[in-house]
């Protein structure tokens, strides 16, 4: 997929200075878990648009540094969900049925069945710390074993937990009551060392711990000590800090353990899914489209809600408003009317700000850094919501200074339908010429004649007016830019109060 579109360079085992020396002309960088994408590497990659992590976690990427540079960071959060969930269940089963110990015994020539008395998962309580995508899939599989599932997740709702077959509880209750504790959390300041000597002491002595999320979430020495003392029933671990696991790590010698080398997502099917997911997003970003699973940019609206068309409209509204201004803006106000209220406003907000700032900025501006750039430049962003918009079932408007523009989707395509008090119908692509004038016979003809004399082709025309022979707004959509001298000539015509040109599209 990549080679069909790009020159692909493959390397392995590079240290930071070596990698930094090779990325000056790179547009996209795809890494696995071992490569650290640091601020130094990002600084060396002047053309870089996107970093793809072929997996779920992005803790090996300096996301704030990428965001500051307007570089997308994308991952593949769905590709290995099933693999990670299945491995979690495999670890739990291997632990409670003592599969690894029994295997070693048989290979050693023994046949001591009584030595390997196991326990069932049926009728036990599974405590999920984190019930996101992987945790939810583990919950559904655990139900098939007849387990009761409880979960702790500050970001989950009661409804989302119920849909996975789990009941939300606080962390203390989960630790006190669970027979199997399975961790499914990202690495953050709050989750680092989450399972430590203090929290382990709250577990039943027969409880077992499973971790296939991030190694840093578990204090390995505390787990090893609890196993040695009999305060913990067992531990099945797929991730460690650091990796590879140190040769003298206490957990290597601890009893009642199953240890695997970070392979939860390593299935043939998952590797294919992850590769396809991350490459599709990288190619989307290189095509100027937003990424589906960017970790540092808002997610586009769902396709059934209008999808990318709403983002394109918001960006073009911000751009048009900026090009109609005389001065740099101090505030941008977004208004959401009707059905657009059902869409998450964050991507629309970022797209509108991007369109506005691109007009004034030499920096790269995209959905990744638009809101942060607005903040650093002191641009105030305000919003209002209108349940019943005028004329249209769904309307998005952008107001900057004394200029207000609005648009909607017509049969799924974005259209500009309001400019400074006038209802119009204008496409969101191409060159525009706008005049505010007195509505009198002959004016439109004079403008058209002058454009024709300079080989500027008109593709469409709109005239909005408040009443006959009163103030009017004319918008001409053109195939060609209007030369400055032609715009100046039009401005001298009698009855024309103002003339503006604008370019809507990806290259302004």
Which residues participate in catalysis according to the annotation? Answer: 214, 243, 262
The Cα 26–Cα 7 span in angstroms is 10
The Cα 461–Cα 324 span in angstroms is 18
SS3 content of the chain, % helix, strand, coil (to 5): 35, 25, 40
Name the pairing type of β-strands 331-338 and 380-386. parallel
The Cα 82–Cα 42 span in angstroms is 32
260, 238 in Cβ contact below 8 A?
yes
Between CA 460 and CA 474, with CA 458 as vertex, the angle to 5 degrees is 60
DSSP string, 309-320: HHHHHHHHHHHH
The Cα 484–Cα 270 span in angstroms is 57
210, 94 in Cβ contact below 8 A?
no
Alpha helices per DSSP H over 201-244: 220-229
Name the pairing type of β-strands 234-237 and 208-211. parallel
Tokens of 255: 């009893």
């Amino acid at each position: 997929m990549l080679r069909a579109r790009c020159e692909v360079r493959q390397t392995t085992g590079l240290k930071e200075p070596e990698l930094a020396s090779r990325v000056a002309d790179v547009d996209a960088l795809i890494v696995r878990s071992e490569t650290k994408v640091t601020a130094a590497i990002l600084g060396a990659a002047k053309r870089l648009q996107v970093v793809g992590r072929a997996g779920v976690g992005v803790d090996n990427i300096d996301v704030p540094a990428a965001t500051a540079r307007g570089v997308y960071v994308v991952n593949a959060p769905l590709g290995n969900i099933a693999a990670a969930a299945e491995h979690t269940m495999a670890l739990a089963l291997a632990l409670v049925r003592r599969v690894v110990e029994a295997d070693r015994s048989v290979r050693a020539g023994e046949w001591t069945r009584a030595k390997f008395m196991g326990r069932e998962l049926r009728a036990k309580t599974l405590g999920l710390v984190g019930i996101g995508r992987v945790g939810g899939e583990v919950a559904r599989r655990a139900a098939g074993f007849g387990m009761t599932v409880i979960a702790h997740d500050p970001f989950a709702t009661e409804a989302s937990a119920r849909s996975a077959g789990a009941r939300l509880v606080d962390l203390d209750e989960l630790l006190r009551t669970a027979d199997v504790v399975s961790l499914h959390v990202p690495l953050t300041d709050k989750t680092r060392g989450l399972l430590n000597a203090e929290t382990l002491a709250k577990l039943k002595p027969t409880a077992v711990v499973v971790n296939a999320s991030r190694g840093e979430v578990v204090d390995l020495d505390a787990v090893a000590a609890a196993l040695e003392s009999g305060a913990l029933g067992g531990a099945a671990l797929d991730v460690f800090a650091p990796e590879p696991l140190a040769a003298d790590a206490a957990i290597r010698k601890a009893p009642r353990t199953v240890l695997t080398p970070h392979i939860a997502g390593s299935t043939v099917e998952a590797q294919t899914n992850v590769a396809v997911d991350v490459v599709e997003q990288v190619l989307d970003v290189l095509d100027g489209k937003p990424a589906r699973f960017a970790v540092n940019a808002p997610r586009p609206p769902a396709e059934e809600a209008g999808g990318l068309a709403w983002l394109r409209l918001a960006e073009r509204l911000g751009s048009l408003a900026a090009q109609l201004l005389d001065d740099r803006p101090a505030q941008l106000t977004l208004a959401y009317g009707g059905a657009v209220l059902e869409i998450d406003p964050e991507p629309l907000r970022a797209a509108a700000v991007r369109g506005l700032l691109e007009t004034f900025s030499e920096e790269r501006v995209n959905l990744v850094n638009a809101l942060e750039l607005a903040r650093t430049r002191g641009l105030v962003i305000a919003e209002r919501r209108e349940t019943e918009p005028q004329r249209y079932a769904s309307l998005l408007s952008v107001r900057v200074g004394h200029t207000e523009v609005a648009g909607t989707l017509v049969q799924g395509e974005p259209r500009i339908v309001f400019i400074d008090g006038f209802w119009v119908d204008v496409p969101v692509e191409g060159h525009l010429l706008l005049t505010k004038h007195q509505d009198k016979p002959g004016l439109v003809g004079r403008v058209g004649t002058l454009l024709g004399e300079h080989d500027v082709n008109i593709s469409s025309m709109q005239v909005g007016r408040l009443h006959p022979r009163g103030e009017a707004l004319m918008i001409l959509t053109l195939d060609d830019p209007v030369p400055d001298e032609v715009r100046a000539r039009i401005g001298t015509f009698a009855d024309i109060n103002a003339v503006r040109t604008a370019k809507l599209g990806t290259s302004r």
